[in-house]
């Protein structure tokens, strides 16, 4: 009987610990901000566990010593009273020192976090929408300002300043492997500095309940060496690729004459909507609908045909298309690398 119980417990522990690693874990830091926070988490948890243990021992000890009862419980023992008073005062002093110590630790951690991006070259503006992320790369030259969605490329090994805000409700930007979470507040800008030590893909998730599709509001941070990042940025700044097949041309024609253009932008075409994700290079992204689906021809078609079935409540409406029209639009979007 015991063995299966132990085996089940062991398996559960291993599975739980497995959750501590990977591309979305505050306990598996991949940058200085996350490392600072991970250190704080472990220190606070360790110290609090130790204090809990001491309190439990202090509670249990008198029970264990009950056998040594005095003959007359009403007789005062000045020595014992003195020891009790001393224990209480010691505990009080220790509590004060620990509280002040922890406060100082979090104060200095905050200072470290704030210093990470003080000389950041790259500023990215992330705006929360129900339920996707608008991502804008700032630049002194207006022609080099890039707007994209849901996936954030950054150069690895460099601090990046992220300015967050929202257009509708409060969202929260959280990429646990790289930094702490920060709220996106309508009409207000917050600043989050982060850095990825090494190239990699890190997953982020909206961390503030923001409506029906809060759970399907994720993002990917893709950290790349500087030359790769620069090449990506230059690629993304180009206008959309022209359709290369008859089917894709028909798709472009359909896209530009349907309601799609009211919400979406495709650089270099008349589609100039800004209330939904920019599609100029949609096929270069790894996911669709803010991480809801992986990017593929089938998922593109599924998303356009039935957005409300895939992400109920999303602002993407159903556009009336027959099978051929749907295929043509997908062929066009698939070419927008």
For residue 107, give the H/E element and its range: helix 78-115
Least spacing, CB of residue 188 vs ligand CUA, in Å: 15
For residue 257, give the H/E element and its range: helix 246-257
What are phi and psi for residue 315, nearest 5 degrees?
-80, 0
| 135 DSSP β-pair partners | 126, 148
List of residues contacting ligand CUA (CB under 6 A): 128, 131, 171, 206, 208-210, 214, 217
Q: Which residue has the tokens 């790894």?
A: 286
Dihedral sign for Cα atoms in the order 272, 278, 205, 34: negative
Helices (H), 25-77: 32-64
Least spacing, CB of residue 317 vs ligand CUA, in Å: 20
Least spacing, CB of residue 124 vs ligand CUA, in Å: 17
- Give the CB-side neighbour count of residue 160, counting CA atoms within 13 A: 27
Token duo for residue 238:
């180009």
Least spacing, CB of residue 63 vs ligand CUA, in Å: 48
Q: Which is nearer to ligand CUA, 166 or 280 (CB)?
A: 166
Q: Taking Cα atoms as reference points, which of 256, 266, 273 lies closest to residue 335?
A: 266
- 20 DSSP 8-state letter: T
Q: Which is nearer to ligand CUA, 25 or 216 (CB)?
A: 216
Cis amide prior to 114 (ω within 30 degrees) = no
Least spacing, CB of residue 35 vs ligand CUA, in Å: 26
**How far apart (Å, rounded) are the C-alpha atoms in residues 319 and 273?**
16
Least spacing, CB of residue 289 vs ligand CUA, in Å: 13
Least spacing, CB of residue 293 vs ligand CUA, in Å: 18
Q: Which is nearer to ligand CUA, 124 or 210 (CB)?
A: 210
**How far apart (Å, rounded) are the C-alpha atoms in residues 57 and 282?**
60
């Amino acid at each position: 009987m015991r063995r299966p119980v132990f085996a089940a417990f062991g398996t559960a522990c291993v599975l739980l610990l497995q959750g501590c690693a990977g591309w979305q874990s505050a306990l598996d830091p991949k940058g200085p901000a996350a490392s600072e926070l991970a250190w704080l988490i472990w220190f606070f948890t360790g110290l609090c566990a130790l204090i809990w243990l001491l309190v439990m021992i202090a509670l249990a000890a008198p029970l264990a010593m009950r056998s040594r009862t005095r003959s007359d419980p009403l007789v005062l023992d000045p020595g014992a009273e003195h020891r009790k008073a001393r224990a209480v005062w010691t505990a009080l002093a220790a509590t004060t020192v620990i509280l002040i110590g922890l406060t100082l630790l979090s104060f200095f951690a905050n200072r470290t976090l704030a210093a990470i991006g003080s000389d950041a070259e790259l500023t990215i503006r992330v705006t929360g929408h129900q339920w996707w992320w608008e991502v804008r790369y700032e630049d002194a030259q207006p022609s080099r300002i890039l707007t994209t969605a849901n996936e954030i490329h950054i150069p690895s090994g460099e601090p990046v300043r992220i300015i967050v805000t929202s257009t509708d409700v409060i969202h929260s930007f959280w990429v646990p492997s790289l930094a702490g979470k920060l709220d996106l507040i309508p009409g207000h800008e917050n600043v989050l500095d982060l850095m990825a030590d090494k190239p990699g893909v890190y997953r982020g998730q909206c961390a503030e309940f923001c409506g029906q599709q809060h759970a399907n509001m994720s993002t990917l941070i893709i950290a790349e060496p500087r030359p790769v990042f620069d090449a990506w940025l230059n690629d993304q700044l180009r206008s959309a690729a022209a359709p290369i097949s008859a089917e894709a041309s028909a798709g472009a024609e359909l896209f530009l004459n349907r309601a799609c253009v009211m919400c979406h932008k495709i650089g270099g075409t008349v589609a100039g909507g800004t209330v939904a994700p920019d599609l100029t290079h949609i096929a270069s992204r790894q996911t669709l609908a803010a991480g809801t689906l992986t990017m593929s021809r089938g998922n593109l078609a599924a998303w356009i045909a039935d957005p409300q079935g895939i992400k109920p409540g999303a602002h993407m409406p159903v556009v009336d298309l027959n099978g051929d029209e749907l295929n043509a639009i997908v062929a066009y979007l698939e070419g927008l690398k």
